[in-house]
Amino acid sequence: MSIQLRHDWTLDEIRAIHELPLMELVHRAQGVHRQAWGEPEVQLCALLSIKTGGCPEDCGYCAQSVHHKTELKAEKLMGPEEILAEARIARDQGATRFCMGAAWRDAPEGSRFEQVLAAIRGVRELGMEACVTLGMLTQEQADRLAEAGLTSYNHNLDTGESYYGRIVSTHTYADRQATLERVRKAGIQICCGGIIGMGEKPEHRWELLRTLAAHRPHPESVPINALVPIAGTPLADQPPTSTVEMVRMIATARILMPRSRVRLAAGRLMMSDEAQLLCFLAGANSIFFGDRLLTTGNPNFDADKSLLAEAGLRPSAPHAWQPGAAVADD
């Protein structure tokens, strides 16, 4: 039976899935996952902060905003050679995608943009998929990223539209959606997901999932982050996200967007091996691989390799997924 991809999920339908008894939810998600992807395997994505801190936006969760008094020291954009040295290390450890993050409101014009393009070309020459997250883009910038061979652009919607204004005031949900449209128009794959544990209600999570699934095609990757509380930010004292909440979010994303890579993203350092395995069972098939996220830690290469090996979970093959063509939809 072929998989039916839908873009018209209602909040009621999403709620009904998300609130299923956990074993039923995981069972259904695993069924969808098997049908869409076959044998479980996990994509290993390395992440590097190529320009850290000093961001003018006020996202309440973020260590890199100038509006919050965090410990972080702002740094200049890294040069392409320095970036590529990190990409080579990650590739040699088994990463197949290299993701580069920059703390900008919007991508810059001029020489800094050219440097990012050079880094993208270099990553592609290493035989890896390349992903960047640079903030908002113009259409011309999106087109130039595509020309440089960019596989995927990360731009998260982070939470439900009705809660977004509680988290960020310096840009809007509509701004985020406009950039996503430009990325899609340029022919670049979309990586778009969110964060749970920011004080939102379950309704806001369903709303986010509805918006993501309404995209045509679905985003090719959907990172699900658990808030990593950062001292000095307005969300520093949020209670930790439970494993069950993470599993519910991942399983529901898997059922709504069968062909998307669902990434168990930030927050793995706070989770046991067993909790992470439950997320894979619920349909996660991608992780950040390497001991740093952007400004916080992540399990190291060896810890992840042994977790995957112990569970008999194969890392997905390099190039299993060719750039250029959207694959999350028919």
Catalytic residues, by residue number, are: 55, 59, 62, 99, 131, 191, 263
Contact set for ligand SAM, span 202-231 (CB under 6 A): 225, 227-228, 230
Confirm or reject binding of residue 283 to ligand DTB (CB under 6 A): no
What is the Cβ-side half-sphere exposure of residue 123, based on CA atoms within 13 angstroms?
Answer: 36
List of residues 6+ apart from 63 with CB closer than 8 A? 53, 70, 72, 230, 232, 233, 294, 295, 296
Contact set for ligand SF4, span 89-118 (CB under 6 A): 103, 105
Nearer Cβ to ligand SAM (25/61)? 61
| Least separation in angstroms between CB 241 and ligand DTB | 13
- What's the Cα-to-Cα distance from 229 to each of 36, 208, 268, rounded to whole Å? 34, 21, 13
Report helix angle 111-125 to 139-147, nearest 10.
30
DSSP readout, 27-72? HHHHHHHHHHHSS-EEEEEEEEEEE-S-BS---TT-TTBTTS--SP
| Least separation in angstroms between CB 214 and ligand SF4 | 23
> What is d(CA 289, CA 82) in angstroms, rounded to the nearest whole number?
19
Rg of the chain, C-alpha, whole Å: 18
Q: Which one of residues 20, 26, 45, 62 is an interface residue with ligand SF4 (CB under 6 A)?
A: 62
Confirm or reject binding of residue 103 to ligand SAM (CB under 6 A): yes
Write the binding mask 225 to 264 for ligand SF4: x where contact by CB under 6 A, - elsewhere. Answer: ----------------------------------------
Nearer Cβ to ligand SF4 (115/285)? 115
| Least separation in angstroms between CB 305 and ligand DTB | 21
Report helix angle 243-256 to 273-281, nearest 10.
20
- The binding site for ligand SAM (CB under 6 A) comprises 61-62, 64, 101, 103-104, 133, 135, 155-156, 158, 195, 225, 227-228, 230, 266, 294
